Amino acid sequence: MPDLLNDVTQDTLALAKDLISRPSVTPDDLGCQELMISRLEKIGFQIERLRFGEVDNFWARRGTEEPVLAFAGHTDVVPTGDEKKWATPPFTPTEKDGMLYGRGTADMKGSLAAMVTACERFVGQHPDHQGAIAFLITSDEEGIATHGTVKVVEHLEARGEKMQWCIVGEPSSTKQLGDVVKNGRRGSLGAKMTVHGIQGHVAYPHLADNPIHKAAPALAELAQCQWDQGNEFFPATSFQISNINGGTGATNVIPGELEVIFNLRFSTALTPENIKQRACEILDKHQLDYHIDWNLSGLPFLTDTGPLLDATQKAIKIVTGRTTELSTAGGTSDGRFIAPTGTQVIELGPCNATIHKVDESVEINALGELSLVYEEIMRELLASS
């Protein structure tokens, strides 16, 4: 096992470094997908390049039968910020003290490399595997996510092509590879609310109507509202105000409008319609003159017990010896676009402690472990008898 892990690690590391060296800041791909495609074509994948708007995506599939096990991920990364604050150049993958540094090491080019190398080994051992293996890769996950996974899923749904199982390579682990697997995510409902008042001079408040004063009690009630109790897999729904803006900048002017931006991360115990109704009831109770633009970023999803989760937990135990904790914490992922089709979705990737940070990094050995875990999942679900 140590020799195998070392060989797999070095193979996966080489591909990860090649991907990381391409500054694919969202939504640019800069050849990352073609690099993956060239490796997948060599082992029998049929490739469908799908460009929507300015976004590159691809769907790759090996096998024509069901069930379909898909790997999903993104080649785009977030901006680096001030590169002078990085210990090493963010797009020069650097090995140091058992770690690989660079933008995208953890989120999520390390996972992409592990997926490809895992498939290469699995196909080599099981060329006549059951069902199909697929890849759904986008370069529009870290941005506005309107021309990426959601469009590919719509494209597949339009022709009746389904995925039974999907592994998203988001960095799910906390301290060690595989200690946490995300088996769901909360929904995200955002809102931009404008509260209308009457502008005036602060010395003559009776001639004005201050929207800040009127909105404050309503906002406090929204923040204190117990939306639900959560459930076995999800914490209680959370309401958070992220921005408040009102006024002209002058100290002697009562504003005519107040703008409030807020977000609710909600569980499967609620629907967006429930939330909107209750929010408006509170606002109406306080007799506000308001307008809200709602934005549903994603519905909550949950993968409970089943073949994918069973295979994943077993694979992690075989490769690492670790017992996996299931979690639905964190933000949204592209899994929110895939799960509504009826697909079982989990997220499994490296540790997330440094994602989106300066000096993003991943443990080098974890890349090899991750590739072996992905391979073992395929063996559990698709190995030919």
Dihedral pair phi/psi, residue 215, rounded to 5°: -80, -25
Q: Is 7 noted as a catalytic residue in this protein? A: no
The single residue of 56, 120, 141, 170 carrying the catalytic annotation is 141
The single residue of 76, 140, 142, 257 carrying the catalytic annotation is 76
Token readout for 303 is: 């993968």
DSSP assignment of 175-213 equals SSTTSEEE-EE-EEEEEEEEEE-B-EETT-GGGSB-HHH
Dihedral pair phi/psi, residue 372, rounded to 5°: -65, -35
- Give the gyration radius of the chain's Cα atoms: 24
Residues 114 and 315: beta-carbon distance below 8 Å: no
Residues 138 and 75: beta-carbon distance below 8 Å: yes
Distances (CA, A) of 121 to 62, 125, 366: 14, 6, 17
Phi-psi region of 230 (alpha: psi -120 to 50; beta: other; left: phi over 0): left
What is the Cα–Cα distance from 175 to 190, expressed in whole angstroms?
A: 31
Q: Is 141 noted as a catalytic residue in this protein? A: yes
Give the residue numbers annotated as catalytic, written as ranges: 76, 141
